[in-house]
Structure 1
Amino acid sequence: MKKLNVCMISGSFEYDSRKSLKIFQKYLAENYPLIETELIIYQDEDDNPSLRILESTDVIMIFTRRIRISGKNLERLQKYCQTGKPIVGIRTASHAYENWLDFDTHVLGGSYQGHFGHGPISQVEIVESQMGHSILEGISNFEAFGSLYKNPSNAADTTTLMTAKTNQGHCQPVTWIRERQVGENVSRVFYTSLGHQDDFHITSFLQMLANAIFWTTRQ
């Protein structure tokens, strides 16, 4: 495996994404020393740190919620996505940037329509037909925390890897991938609607994110 540069972007304050991504940074450092990480942290929704690093990173991991960037940094993000580079999205990435809400449908292939009530634990299960996928290597079914997101009509070119079901009977896709032609490149995108603080203490969840980095970068 060659060295990989991962740019993590934190700005989901409800889910304490800064702390959660630091947990994942530690997991990568302990298990995959050839992965180097850079953590960009939004201090509030109007913060606007430079995204120049997107010009040289191998993959971005987005965990933000309704950040109101504009101008040059929004252009950098859009250019990164529009050239078909690897993307990993976590939970509120479905509504990551207030000035680019189409990111969910156009890039992730999602269809975020809010969430079911807070409280119930979800039973996360691998889709049987996808059990051999590399993102699911070393992963077992697990219980996830946080409300279950509604994504009723994802893009036709997405492939669901995992679903989750609450004890009230609600069932939704919670992990999917997308491959699509973007110019001369075939873009690889991974998204999971999981990502509650407690999910980052589940080994299968952390391993899934690590596997997603390798899959999106074709490692």
Structure 2
Amino acid sequence: MMSVLVAASCLAGSVVADEQPLRIAIAASPNQFASLEMYLEQHYLVQCVRVDASKGGPIPDAAKLRDCDVMLLNHYRTEPTAEQLAEVRKFFLSGKPVVGARKASHAYQNWLEIDRIVFGVKYGSHFNPSKKKEDLKQVLTPRGRTHGLVRDLSLVIPGGGLYKYTELADDVEVLIEGGVDGDMMPQTWQRTVAERGGQRVFYTRYDPDDVNQYPEVRDLLVDALFWAAKRDGHQLRRTPPGD
């Protein structure tokens, strides 16, 4: 896979020119992405801010989002209070960048519209759930085959299978599709939301278990965070590549 540094430098576009730490909100269940958090803080000039929430529960630290630059989201059917949900919505609707993993498209039971409003799709639960993992496949789309974030990615089926996503917004660029021959659904995509000032949004069906199991999936999320935040990995790197 293309290195994080190369991907960041090629894809960031108009990047932040200074070396201020990138503040990443890790909005997930407790202990999720712990290894990714350690990797980021060890190798890059970043500060990870935990915004934990369990299924069905509130988001006690939602106010921490105010000071974060980008969010890595994998909350799962949480139920924030009205005040907490206001903080969450403010982050998204202000145009701050978002990287979503697996459960991000159905993160909030009292804001089900996040799938369309933030990620530009309609979430439809599991896709081909009766199929064995070995019967499913993921493939790069024509856009994905030339895209620095995914073009060199070794594609594996995510743990737990695939999701059904339909009614894509016009600004969604699908990079990876998954399913069976003749019946494929988007599984990884990006969008740039013009009405929110060019907000960058990235989503992938891969989840924390895949991050722990496959270094290339970990690197994909790191690349995506830099891309979304328009930050250059060369400026953020603490250690030489490969260390």
- How many residue pairs are counted as aligned between the two chains? 210
CA distance in 1, matches of 2:141, 2:189: 10
TM-score, length of structure 2 as denominator length: 0.78
Q: 1:105: how far off? A: 0.4
Q: Paired residue for 2:190?
A: 177
CA distance in 1, matches of 2:212, 2:71: 18
Q: Compare CA radii of gyration and give the structure with the larger one.
A: 2
Q: Paired residue for 2:133?
A: 120
Of 150, 153, 156, the match for 2:164: 150
Q: 1:199: how far off? A: 4.9
Q: Paired residue for 2:220?
A: 208
More RCO (CA 8 Å, sep 6+) = 2
CA distance in 2, matches of 1:7, 1:196: 15
Q: Paired residue for 1:28?
A: 40
State the percentage of identical aligned residues.
Answer: 26
RMSD over aligned Cα, in angstroms?
2.2
Show structure 2 runs of 5+ residues with no match: 1-17, 232-243
CA distance in 2, matches of 1:199, 1:38: 18
SS at the partner of 2:125?
A: coil
CA distance in 2, matches of 1:148, 1:170: 12
Show structure 1 runs of 5+ residues with no match: 12-17
Of 86, 93, 100, the match for 1:75: 86
Moved beyond 3 Å, runs of 4+:
none
Q: 1:154: how far off? A: 1.5
Q: Is the 1:138–1:204 Cα contact (8 Å) retained in structure 2?
A: no
Q: Is the 1:135–1:208 Cα contact (8 Å) retained in structure 2?
A: yes
Of 117, 132, 152, the match for 1:106: 117
CA distance in 1, matches of 2:24, 2:151: 20
SS at the partner of 1:165?
A: strand
SS at the partner of 2:166?
A: coil
Q: Paired residue for 2:71?
A: 60
Q: 1:128: how far off? A: 3.2
TM-score, length of structure 1 as denominator length: 0.85
More divergent stretch after superposition (121-130 vs 101-110): 121-130
Q: 1:170: how far off? A: 4.3
Q: 1:67: how far off? A: 0.5
Does residue 131 of structure 1 match 2:151? Answer: no
SS at the partner of 2:78?
A: coil
Query: 1:203 and 1:170, CA in 2 relative to 1: closer, same or farther beyond 3 A?
Result: farther
Q: Is the 1:110–1:154 Cα contact (8 Å) retained in structure 2?
A: yes
Q: 1:99: how far off? A: 0.7
